Every structure is written in structure tokens, then in C-alpha cells.
Amino acid sequence: MKEETVLVKNRAGIHARPAALLVQTASKFSSSVFLERNNERVNGKSIMGVITLGAVYNSEIKVIVEGDDEDKALQAIVALFEKKFEED
């Protein structure tokens, strides 16, 4: 199991479009992906889950991955946060 804490860097937060992008990225890997904010944990492969996280600008999100390709998955997801979900 691997985990990393990241910051939401795009102004609008994780709304529908970034959530879809995140879920699409996570679904490419066989590892299970979870996101955690304020001790609330959701499945990173479910759009509705990711949106209800209410990840606003500058909030901390813990990304937890577990499985065969966990390194690659974690890297790809963290990269999305770094790229501000191709926004701003």
C-alpha cells in the first residue's frame, strides 16, 4: 500500500470535469484507489464519490493506492494534481 498527501491547486477545486479526469486515470490501473479528506474516504474510481469529497482549492487530499501497479497509479494521480487538472 502506498499513500501520498497532495494539495488541490486549481482554483475551482475538484468539480465535475477534474473528477472525471481523475476517475478515468485511476480506472486505467488495476490497483484500488482511495481518496481521503478530513477523514472521509471515497473510492477514486467513482465519479460521484470523488465529487462529494468537496475538494476545494488548497485542501489536502490523501491518495491511497493498493495493488500490483500501485507505484505507477500513485505517480499518475499525483501528476494530475501537480498539473492542476489541466486547468487555470
Partner 1 sequence: MEKFTVLDLLQLDLKEHDALNLKCLGGRPGLIREIKMPELNRPGLALGGFFDSFAEQRLQIFGRGETSYLCKLEKEKKLSNIKKMFSFTLPCCVFTSNLEPPPQFFSLAEESGCPILQTDLSSSEFSTRIMRVLSNIFAPKKNVHGVLVEVFGIGVLIQGESGVGKSEIALELIERGHRLVADDAVEVRCVGGNFLMGKGVNVIASHHMEIRGLGIINVTHLFGVGAIRDKKQIQLLVQLEEWDTNKTYDRIGSEDSTIELLGVAVPYLQIPVKPGRNIPIIIETGAMNERLKKLGYHSAKEFSRSIMNWLETERARSVYFESQ
Q: Which of 30, 40, 57, 82 binds partner 1 (CB under 8 A)?
A: 57
Q: Is the CB of 5 or the CB of 54 nearer to partner 1?
A: 54
State the catalytic residue, choosing from 2, 15, 41, 62: 15
Give the H/E segment covering residue 41.
strand 40-43
Among 2, 36, 59, 78, binds partner 1 (CB under 8 A): 59
1-16 burial by CB neighbour count: b if 16+ within 10 A, else e? Answer: eeeeebebebeebbee
Specify whether the CB–CB gap between 81 and 7 falls below 8 A. Answer: yes
Binding site residues, partner 1, CB under 8 A: 12-17, 20, 23-24, 47, 51, 54-59
